[in-house]
Amino acid sequence: MLIDSHCHLDFPDFIEDRDDVIRRAREVGVRLMLTISTKITEADKIISLAEAYDDIVCSIGIHPHEAGREPETTAEELARIASHPKVVGIGETGLDYYYEHSPREAQKKNFQAHIAASRDTNLPLIVHARDADTDTAMILEQEVAKGRFPGLIHCFTAGPELAERALNIGMYISFSGIATFKNAKEIRDVIEIVPLDRILVETDAPFLAPTPHRGKRNEPSFVRHTAELIANIKNISYQEFIDISGTNFFNLFSKASPPKISNQSHIASSSNT
């Protein structure tokens, strides 16, 4: 099935028309959406959103941009919140040296706490890495030596070295609409080398709308464009790719289950969630 493995449906961009956005996703065959936490202080909000829809699950965590602003959170506290049935992943977390909205040391400490929570809960670690390839790979490799944990690099924009190092420790790689951009040849080259059984697909909505919607607000229905691109690169049919990537999603996010509703099911009345 087609799954948007990373979006931000709790963001203000979707307040006015979230039901319509979810309906459009269902109409193009998106069967499940994973909405991603960026602030621990908004954990209740994102869990409530996921509770309102059968085909939405969520993560819990602190984005590296927020590492210096959100309360310092222990692995134990992350694990406690992640015990909720709708929480299927830890993050997003990681390192961002491009914007550096938070001090690097705060980002690293936050990253390590999330890794410990992932290890303790066996919920996948959702990693954000931008202009921080060396430190990201080093921390992941150091931490996996202490005990394995599942995870993925989301919205992959780095080169083959980070991909190979992540794959070597058992992680998955998720690609967003950036891969469809004309100048994204390096990302498409990475897609060629990542095994099919380690690929996920995402939107990162409301950001990074793929071609042909570039410049617009992104939304989960647009994930099909990235899926079509990857299927073409891998020289398989679109249906085969979404079958494989859907299986990959549930292999990684093993706490998640396929939704009971159909794509045409009634939208929850939760516009104010």
Beta bridge partners of 87: 58
197 is annotated as contributing to ligand binding: no
Q: Is 143 annotated as a binding residue?
A: no
Residue 154 labelled as part of a binding site: yes
Report how far residue 120's alpha carbon sits from residue 139's, in angstroms, rounded to the nearest whole number. 17
Q: What is the pLDDT of residues 213-264, one digit of tens each?
A: 999 999 999 999 999 999 999 999 999 999 999 999 999 999 999 887 554 4
Angle, helices 133-144 vs 160-168, to 10°: value is 10
Rounded Cα gap, residues 34 and 114, in angstroms: 18
Is 8 annotated as ligand-binding? yes
Any known ligand binding at 92? Answer: yes
pLDDT in tens, 63-97: 999 999 999 999 999 999 999 999 999 999 999 99
What pLDDT, in 10s, does the model give residues 123-182? 999 999 999 999 999 999 999 999 999 999 999 999 999 999 999 999 999 999 999 999
Residue position matching structure tokens 């780095």: 158
Q: What percent of the chain has pLDDT over 70?
A: 95
Q: Which helix (H) or strand (E) holds 60?
A: strand 56-60
Pull the structure tokens for residue 173.
Answer: 């790689």
Write the pLDDT tens digit of every residue in 106-131.
999 999 999 999 999 999 999 999 99
Predicted TM-score (pTM) of this structure: 0.94
Structural domains of the chain ordered from first start: 14-252 (3.20.20.140)
